[in-house]
Structures are given as C-alpha cells and as structure tokens.
Amino acid sequence: MRAMQIIEWGKPLEFRDYPTPEPKGEEVLVRVESAGVCHSDVHIWDGYFDMGDGKKITLEQRGVKLPFTMGHEIAGEVVALGPDAKGVEVGKRYAVYPWIGCGQCAVCKKGEELLCMTPRTLGTRTSGGYGSHVIVPNARYCVDYGNVSQALAATYTCSGITAFSALKKIRPNVGVDDHFLIIGAGGVGGQAVHIAPAYLKGKMLVADIDAQKRAHARQMGAVGTIDNAAADAAQQVMQASGGGVAGAIDFVGSPKTMEFGISALRKGGKLVMVGLYGGAMPVPTVMFPFKMMTIEGSYVGTLQDLKELLDLGKAGKVPPIPIETRGADRATESLADLKTGGKVRGRVVMTH
Ligand SMILES: [Zn+2]
Ligand SMILES: [Zn+2]
C-alpha cells in the first residue's frame, strides 16, 4: 500500500510504501477510493491546536507519532475481512465512520463513541484515508451509501454529520411556524444549508458575511438572509422572524458570532455551538433565566447520525455540495488551499 504521510509537522507530505496490512479478528480492510480533505487536517498537519492566549495542545502530547497518515473522511471498497468480521461483503463499497471509541466502555456501549475517553479515530489517532488502504476495527463502521455519490458519502462522515448532528439538536425546538438561523454558510455550515430543508420543519434564515453564500442559501430554500457584519444584524433577524428564532447554529464559533446567535434567539430558544474559530466572551448570567435559553456544544456526530443522513441522501432529499476531485499526490496543495482559505468551493476529495 501507499500512504501520503506527514513526515515532519507542517512540511510537505510524502508518499511512503508499506506492506498492505492484513485484517485480524473483527477488522476489515478497505481500499480507499475517496478521502475528503477536512479543515481539521490542516491543524493536525501543523502538529498543534491553538487554545488561545498562546496556549497550544500538540498532537505529540495526544500520542500521535510521525510518520502519520491523516484522512478521516473515507469511502471505498472492502477488500479483505478478518476471520471474525461479519456484516460486510468483499467487493462492496461503503462509507467509513471514523469517530471510533474503545468499544468497551459505558458510552461506547450506548453508541456514543464520540464521548469515549480512549478514542481510536481513523486519520486523527490511527492511520486514515490519505493511505490507499485502511484497517477498520469492526464492520459496523462500514455504512452502505447506496445511490449517493461516493465522494459525497465520504464527506458525510465528518462535515456532513457535523452539520446533521447540530441540526438534530435544534430539531425539537423548531416547529413548522418557527424560524431557525444558520450562522456561517461555508464548509460545514454549507452542508447544513443543504440538509436543513429536508430535515427541519421550520423556516430557514442564513447569516453570512459573503453575499455569494447568502445568494446560494436563498437558492437552497432560505426564506431570508442576513449579512452578520451589518451593525443591525440582530434586529434584521428579529424582523425576519417576528421576534427571534427558536433555534440557531453557530458554524463559525467566534465571540462575535456567538453574541449574534444569542441575541437572535427568542425566549426558550437554543443556540448550538459548532465552529472552532476560538476566543472567549462573557454572557450575562440573567440571560439564561430571562430568556430561558439553552446553549449547547456539538462535535461531529454518531454512527446513527451517519446512517440517518445517508438515508436522507439516498431518498434524494439533500442537494449535493460541490466537490472537487484531486489525486492524493495533491494532498499538500489541498491542505495549503484550505489554510489560505477562499480557494476551495465545497470540498476536496482525493482519490488514490
Ligand atoms: Zn473533519
Ligand atoms: Zn469507549
């Protein structure tokens, strides 16, 4: 097998050849045909996450050793099964759920592997889809994507379920006459704009500082769009929604967008925080009781979320996001394009 690897943090990735691994026990070997390039790969490539105030968490502190193979948005063909692997067929194609826990602890047994304290996430902890082959610990993480395009199905394993699981968290709040607000309509927020009309009953409002993204959101079914750089952005939401939204999702995650999200809520509203922009902001404590509001964090999604999102996709209810296919030899260029920003519309999905 061949893997496009980080040899040195932040330096161009390089191809290395390795013996193709053999699946043991319940493991499954997948030949990777589609590997999405996610913005979080840029941080892994750098070798650290910025925690603000000059604080950093390094990947080495988390136990990641070089050379390392990234790639957590994977779809491909099952090519070999361990002796105890059941539930998938050799020669069939699947999207691979990457957010894998230990499989043994209380949260893993409930299907909430995201909350596991000893994760085995593909492409962030163990070798991922920037390699031509990936070992998946169990067949249950391989999900049939049916008639959904393979590259799109790959993006659903991270950016798709990140959007979907945030929408799920506001779904009970949003009735047919209610408005909901999506803040930030690029990347993951862009996925949400595509999924929301098929999944939520209420009326969609979308805030973005980019006029093109606002125009696209209206095409996707937004009843109103707001330039959240405008001084009166919160009043515009109040006006468009008749007194505030029942649910809002912040796909940016800056102090400014969070403040905007809170001020857009009506009484009893819920704000879900997804974006990892970073920073801090004070919230008046009395706002919680007076507004009876909820603020909740959301991070990627569960295996069940991936299945439900793919079901919506298979039913033809979710318009696909734009996808640019590139060879794995363009991994470094693709990461650099994401780092600079503005160069990728939708998602880059690499092929081997
Ligand atoms: Zn990701
Ligand atoms: Zn666990």
In this prediction, residue 63 carries a pLDDT of 86
Ligand with an atom nearest the CA of residue 109: 2
Continuous segment of H or E residues that includes residue 256: helix 255-264
Distance CA 238, CA 314 (A): 36
Dist. CA 157 → ligand 1 center (Å)? 8
Q: For residue 40, give the ligand nearest its CA.
A: 1
* 159 Cα to the center of ligand 1, angstroms: 6
Within a 10 A sphere around the Cβ of 50, how many other Cβ atoms?
13
**How far, in Å, from the CA of 120 to the mean position of ligand 2?**
9
Q: Which ligand is nearest to the CA of 71?
A: 1
Nearest ligand to the CA of 300 is 1
What span, in angstroms and rounded, lies between the C-alpha atoms of 14 and 7? 7
Give the pLDDT score at 30.
98
How far, in Å, CA of 12 to CA of 1, rounded? 20
For helices 211-219 and 187-199, what crossing angle results, to 10°? 20
Residue 88 to residue 141: CA distance in whole angstroms:
10
Ligand with minimal distance to 70 CA: 1
Number of the ligand closest to the Cα of 159: 1
Instruction: Give the Å distance between the CA of 73 and the centre of ligand 1.
Output: 7
**Residue 102 Cα to ligand 2 middle (Å):** 4
C-alpha 228 – ligand 1 centre gap (Å): 25
Ligand 2 centre to CA of 125 (Å) is: 14
Distance 119 CA to ligand 2 centre (A): 7
Q: What pLDDT is recorded for position 57?
A: 84
Give 273-340 as a DSSP string. E-----------TTHHHHHT-EEEE--S--HHHHHHHHHHHHTT-SPPPPEEEEEGGGHHHHHHHHHH
Q: Peptide bond before 83: cis, by omega within 30 degrees of 0?
A: no
State the pLDDT at residue 51.
73
Whole-angstrom distance, CA of residue 294 vs CA of residue 268: 7
Q: How far is the CA of 39 from the centre of ligand 1 (A)?
A: 6
pTM for the model stands at 0.95
CA distances from 169 to 2, 180, 295, 307 (A): 40, 12, 11, 16
Cα of 111 from ligand 2 centre, angstroms: 9
pLDDT per residue of the chain (352 residues) written in tens, 0 to 9: 999 999 999 999 999 999 999 999 999 999 999 999 998 999 899 998 777 677 888 989 888 999 999 999 999 999 999 999 999 999 999 999 999 999 899 999 998 898 999 999 999 999 999 999 999 999 999 999 999 999 999 999 999 999 999 999 999 999 999 999 999 998 899 999 999 999 999 999 999 999 999 999 999 999 999 999 999 999 999 999 999 999 999 999 999 999 999 999 999 999 999 998 888 889 999 999 999 999 999 999 999 999 999 999 999 999 999 999 999 999 999 999 998 887 888 899 999 9
104 close to 91: Cβ distance less than 8 angstroms: no
Give the model's pLDDT for residue 134.
Answer: 98
Cα(86) to ligand 2 centroid in Å equals 21
What's the Rg (C-alpha) of the chain?
A: 20
Residue 103 Cα, ligand 2 centroid: separation in angstroms? 5
CA of 187 to the centre of ligand 1 (A): 10
Cα-to-centroid distance, 77 and ligand 2 (Å): 27
Joined tokens for residue 20: 């193709």
The one-letter amino acid code at 125 reads R
* Ligand nearest to the backbone CA of 113: 2
